[in-house]
Each structure stands twice: as C-alpha cells, then as structure tokens.
Amino acid sequence: MEEGLRERKKRETRRRISDMATGLFLMRGFDQVTVAEVARAADVSVNTVFNYFGTKEDLFLDRQADLEEIYRGVVRDRRPGESVADAFRRDFLDALDTGDWRYGFHEGAEVFGRVIAESPALRARTLEIERQVMACVAAAIAEETGADPDDVRPELVAAQILSTTRLLSRHALRRRAAGESPRETEAWLREQAEALFDLLESGIGDYGRRPLVVADDGEAAGDHEDDHVEGDHGRP
C-alpha cells in the first residue's frame, strides 16, 4: 500500500494547520493568536488541532526531530582526524555558508527569533527542545565512542558544544535585530565561531585567573572593576 486517501488527507490537514498557525504567529505574535483562530483559519475544529499537535507551542516549533537527526549525522559522519568539536565547528561554518536553518541563519530568521523572544511559553519550549537535543547528541557521542554507560563525559562534551553554537545563534539574532547587515553579522559570526571553538577545544582553565602576586603599580590581567553591582533581584 503506497498511500491511501486517508493518509494523504491527514498529511495535508496537518500541513494546513501548521502553515496557517505559523503564518498567523509570524504576523501577529504567538500570544496574540488563539488556538481557536488557528483552527478557524485551517478550517478545522479546535479539537482537531490538538489531535495533531500536543500543545500550542508545537504548532510553531515542530523541527526537533529533524534537528536531532541532523546532529546525529554530524557526530556519526565526522571525518578521519576530526574530533566531535571539530565536526561541529565545520558543520556550523558550513551552515553559515549555505544559509541553513539549523542555527538560525535562514531567510526570515529574525522574525522567527523575535516571535520566540516575545513569548515566554515559546522561550520555555525552546529551552526544553535544546535540552532534549543535547541529550540526543550526548547519546550519539556515547554510542560512537563506545563510552561506558556511567561515563558522563559524552554529556559534558555535548553540552559544551551546543552551548557554544546556541550562544553564537543567539548573538547573531540579536545583532540582526539591532539592525546589523547580514554581511557584517556573518563575518562577525565566522570570527567568533573560530575564537569560541578554539577556546572550547583548548580549555577555559585559565580564563579569568587572578594574579598570584599583586603588582603594586600597574594592573595585570583580570583585575578589579568594582563600581557597584547593578541589583537585579527582580522576578520576571
């Protein structure tokens, strides 16, 4: 059985709902659009929406599976001589070249990012997805290197690499949102990616080290800078 009418209609309905939802969210913001509206736009009932998507957030963020598959590939298909960190560095720079969506460089990524940034619910879901992707990458690394089940290092490596790429993506979005041109942002990203991955690979063990002996006249690396701490105890 290649594909019955039933399967096709289901796929189409799902696609229609997802597209309508994405369009509305991009246009008016996540919190300003109700699920009922999405349902009406897609010409289905609210219950049908929840039949296809577990939560409202899933209407907007439904690429987790793809992401996991891609990252698994990055780990699995790394080249001879490449470490895991090397492979991700290359993948990041490749994605930068091709404008791939996986790190948020695709066309319209700024709008996408803004919508997420403006909605607490979407931010939360994004973090949860990142966590699960991290676990997935850790599992891939563990399997690939044949690490002991009790070995925590695969998780550490995954966390550190993905922290790095996430940091780069976030800053790229912020810069684009602040009006920087794509060219500038890309150049900045390329430079920073090299710097951060270098730091990542060689270790942060010396970062911010206090000088053992206090020079009485000049100031050595990483010194005082105490005006007053800007108190930000507030809750969100």
Q: For residues 25 and 21, what is the distance between their CA atoms, to the nearest angstrom?
A: 6
Contact 159, 134 (CB under 8 A): yes
Among 31, 109, 147, 190, binds its own copies (CB under 8 A): 147
* DSSP 8-class letter at 102: G
Interface positions, 183-202, toward its own copies (CB under 8 A): 192, 195-196, 199-202
Q: For residues 53 and 9, what is the distance between their CA atoms, to the nearest angstrom?
A: 16
Contact 158, 90 (CB under 8 A): no
Contact 177, 113 (CB under 8 A): yes
Q: Which residues bind DNA (CB under 7 A)?
A: 1, 4-7, 9-10, 13, 33-36, 43-48, 50-52, 54-57
Instruction: Note whether 116 binds its own copies by CB under 8 A.
Output: no
Q: For residues 100 and 107, what is the distance between their CA atoms, to the nearest angstrom?
A: 9
Which of its own copies, DNA, none is residue 82 near (CB under 5 to 8 Å by kind)? Answer: its own copies
State the nearest-atom distance from the C-beta of 234 to its own copies, in Å: 8
Instruction: Note whether 94 binds its own copies by CB under 8 A.
Output: no
Q: Rg (Cα) of the chain, in Å, rounded?
A: 22
Which of its own copies, DNA, none is residue 50 near (CB under 5 to 8 Å by kind)? Answer: DNA
State the nearest-atom distance from the C-beta of 26 to its own copies, in Å: 22
Instruction: Note whether 223 binds its own copies by CB under 8 A.
Output: yes
